[in-house]
Each structure stands twice: as C-alpha cells, then as structure tokens.
Structure 1
Amino acid sequence: MTIDRDSIVAAAQRLGGLVERTPLLEADLPGGRVWLKAESLQTGGSFKLRGATNRLLQLSQAERRAGVVAFSSGNHAQGVALAAARLNIPAIIVMPSDAPALKVAGTRAHGADIVFYDRATEDRVTIAAALAEQRGAVLVPSFDDPDIVAGQGTAGLEVVEQCPEPVRRILVCTGGGGLAAGIALAVPQADIVCVEPKGWDDMGRSLEKGAIEPVGPNPPPTLCDALQTPLVSPITFGILARSGARGVSVSEEEVKGAVRWAWEKLQLVVEPGGAVALAALLAGKVPIENGTVATLSGGNIDPALHLAIVSGSVA
C-alpha cells in the first residue's frame, strides 16, 4: 500500500469526531519562542489513538468479529484497546512485564486482555504474531503499518492549521517512527528532527548511515519506556529518509529536565518519552527559529514517578 499526503488527509476525514484536536501551545524557551503540540492531552494520553482508530475503522465485519492483537509498552496498547472498545472489537495486547502500572491499568480499563512478556529475553512480535494466527485475529503493529502512519500524521495536519506562522521545523519524539513519518508526509515543507533517548537512537543512526541499524547490544536503562523500540521499520525509515529527516539524542537528565519544565511552566503532565523533543530544545541541541514546533507525544506516567522527577528526587 502506498502512503502519501493524500493518505493523511483521508485519515483526518475518517477520524473526524473520534479523536481530539489537541492544542498547539505557545511557549517561551531560553532559545526563543516555540510551539508545542500537546498530544499528551489526547484521549488515552497519547497520539496513539489516531493511528489505532484509523486502522481499526478499516477492518471488515469478519475481521472485527475475530478481534485484534497488538504489542506495546503502553501507549499503543491503550490506543488500540480504546479504539477496539469503541468499535466493539475484542483486543489482546502483548505488553512487557516491566510496563508502567498506569499504562497496564489503562489498557485493562478499556477491556483488553493482556499477555505479558520479558523484554530482555522474549520477542514481542513473535508472541503477538502467534496469538493472532491462533485466534484468526488481525495483528495491529504500533508503527509498521501504512494506516497507522497515516493516522498519526493527522497531528501534523492540525499543526499546520493551528500555527499562526509558517511551520519550518518539527521535532518529533521517536521510537518506531510512526508519528515522525506521518508528520513528515503531512508537512513536507518542514525540517523533521527525530528525537530519541541516548542509547536508543537507532532511527537517528539509521538516517545518518542511510540504512536501518538496530539498537545496539545492552542498551542503557531509560525512563522513556515508550521509545524502547529495538528496530525501526522499512516503512517509517523510508519515509523519513526520503524527507531528509535527521536525528538527535538526549540524556536522561535532559529528559527529566523537560518533564519538570512542562509541569512548572505549563502545568502539563508529560511522560519522559513524550518529553524528548522538548528536551532537545531546552538543551540547545536544535536551534530555535520562527516556526519551530515540538511534539509532547504522551502523558502516561505513574504519579509517583512524576512527583519524583518534578521534585528532583529521582536518581
């Protein structure tokens, strides 16, 4: 299936009334004025509802009866679970055993069944594919799917409509690259910067080398659970490579500083993985010019961890 900007526009029409039009907030950073796309305020707490809903809306009646299977550390899990509940579709979600309790509870609250796996020793894709085959269900990946990418790209269309100045640069929190790829298609005139946590910056390294590179062995621990994607897909990498996107990485301290800044300056709860784009700007890793936008891609963080970060008590 070919995906282009028309696919994003079609997805936006399909999603009308089913996802929130999240605000684009003006913010003054030390380096200048920027615009923040607050997907942390999306229903379900992240942008993931966009792609999940776009994908599930296109299932046949037989596919809906058979159900869906997804794999996710939490945000895609909640997006699929919520979209499935709204459409009365059975859902099974494969989640890592160390997924944040808030994301597990949110997924269960929407009626999905959860199958846990060990992130260090088991392959979530293999587990999910086996479950889908056993049950005759549809596998709904978190980013390696044109309809998922198209749905995520609707956030980019909103940015262009909402921003009072021409959008020249967009920093995107990046795991598998579904949001970044969708935004790259939706806003082709913008410079796209993929932001990842250090040690998990496989998209940035892949774009630099011109070929997909996996996360290296023994990657460091990170608070950015939503961005712990071991390998990006040809779909997202191809779109971003053709768009001329580049990558930067941020440290754990820079991420915590961004979570703290969002709370103190905007009273927004943003999870670490949803704050990496803001972190890159606060750290001066990407210059701020007119028309600079950053995504706040998710807000699903355990309250105790958020308190520890904003109070400065987390190690």
Structure 2
Amino acid sequence: MANNATMRPAEQSADPRIRPEVLREFRKHSGSVLAGVFAGAAFDQVALVPVAASVDRTGRFEANFADRGVRSGVSAMIALWGDSDDRRAEAEWLKLRHRDVRGTGAADFEDVKYSALSPFTWKWIAVSGIFVVLNTFTYCTGVEPSPAEEEAAYQMLREVFAHLELPSAAGKLPVDLAEAREYYDTMATEELRTNPFLVQKFAGLTRLPLPTLGLPPLARRALTPLWLVTRPIAGHVIQVCSSKAMHPRVQEMTGFELTPRHDREFAVYVWLLQWAWRNLPDRLLLQPLAYNRFQYEKLVRAFRGYGLDSFAVPADRR
C-alpha cells in the first residue's frame, strides 16, 4: 500500500468506471467543514465498551467535550492532509501517547479492562472514522457514487491512514470496502453495546461547552452568551444528522429516538448542506489544511502549464 503522499488527485484513476470528478468531490468532502454536523456519528466508537471505559476514565469528556472534539478533528486533518512526513509523525505520536491508555474502568465500567493499542480496539476506531467520511459524502454533496467509485474512495482513505495501522495482522485495515462493511456489520451485531456513557454523551450534544482551544479568554467570555442560546439548536441538528448517517443498530444504542418529524428536518438540513456545497467558495467550505493543499496543487498545475512539450531542437531549426 503506497503511503508516501497525501490523497492523490482523482485524475490519476485509470478505471473507466470511475468518474474523476466524483473522486475530486469526495476528496474535498474529506476536508470539508460541512461534515461537522455529522460529528455525532463518531459516537459509534464508544459503543465498544472498552473504548467507553477508557474515555470515561480520563474525564476529558466531562471536563470539556468540545475540546476533545477539536483535538480529534485537527489530528484527523493532519492524517488526511499533511505531507507524508507530518502524517507519519502524527501517527507515531498517537501510538506513543496511547501506550498510556490502559487499565480498568471506574463506576459503570469498574470491571472493564481496556488498552487503546489492543489491535481489536485500535482497528475499530480507525474503521469507524473511515465510515463517517464515506457515509456522509452524498448527504453533504448530493453526489451519488457508483460501487467502483465507493471502492476507490475507500482505498483513498485506507492509503492515507496506513501509517496508523499496527504491525500485527489484526491491526491492519480491511483490504477493500466489502471486507470493511462486513467487519463493521459484525462489530455492530456482536461486539457493540449500549452503555451509560454513550447515551449520556449523545444526549449531551445539546449542552456542548464552548471550546477553550484556539479561543483567547476574552473572546470566550464575549461569545458565551450567544453560545448558550444557539447550542441547543446546533446540538439538536448534530443529533439528527448523525443519527441518520449511523448504522441503524448503533443508532438505537444511542437512545436518541428518530421520528417522522426528524426525517422532515433531515431533508431540510441535507438541502442546506448541498446548497452550501454548490455555492460557497472553497475558502469557506474547507478546513484550512485542506484548503492550503488544494491551493498548492492548483499552483503546481498552473506552473506546469509553462513547461515545454520537449527540450529537443525545434523543427524549424533542424
């Protein structure tokens, strides 16, 4: 598996079943801020009880759940959009820091042993993250990929996450999308469980604290009144959108009950997302690191347009 570059432009695909424009859109989607409304779909990670036990034990969700989300988001952006050296360094840093994440849970999880670098746990976290990107693509963009294009999109993500794999066979990502789906379905039916942490934190999305990371204290104080007014609405939107993007069995585990009213709400949210996708400039649509990468690639293509077709002696001088 090649892993010496960031996700490559879709033009490189030689498969006639794959439309380059679809993979270009998917690649942009993986760096889009719009996917934030589906952030709760990543709660499938804590449906695996050892993961819930470990995250609960640290207390960081309790301290400021939004900060935890910011840290995870920026780490994912480096993994997706950093150059090969930065992606490798980020993966090694994550593995090193997760060596300390082992022990026994507390309270509701007092009998649960956990180890973040267990291949069983580590692989689940990685595959969960891949499916959040895959499952939200059409909702955000309106683009319907073919089976071949879905496979190409999966391989695109598998390639950039290769540095995160563990050495053992059990720590490797599924080799193709069919295997990944089979793995996910098996986990959902046989290993994942509802638990108090999952239910409480998903319900708590309507009470998100204002992040402290990247916000000076003065700005945080100024924004707090507006945040307190808007967070119930924003949290509800995330709950609805995330529930619609989740595996049905996992969605049931969250304790959030979907109703026909939510179907109508979701249709409105999807329309707004796709309108934004079609009309907003990349500077607003993309995370800064993804935007920077796309600008770099545009400049490279433009500069290459000045090159000669050949350095041979011109025909009129022969």
- Same fold, TM-score > 0.5, yes or no: no
Higher strand share: 1
Q: Which of 1 and 2 has higher RCO (CA within 8 Å, sep 6+)?
A: 2
Relative to the length of structure 1, the TM-score reads 0.35
Relative to the length of structure 2, the TM-score reads 0.35
Higher helix share: 2
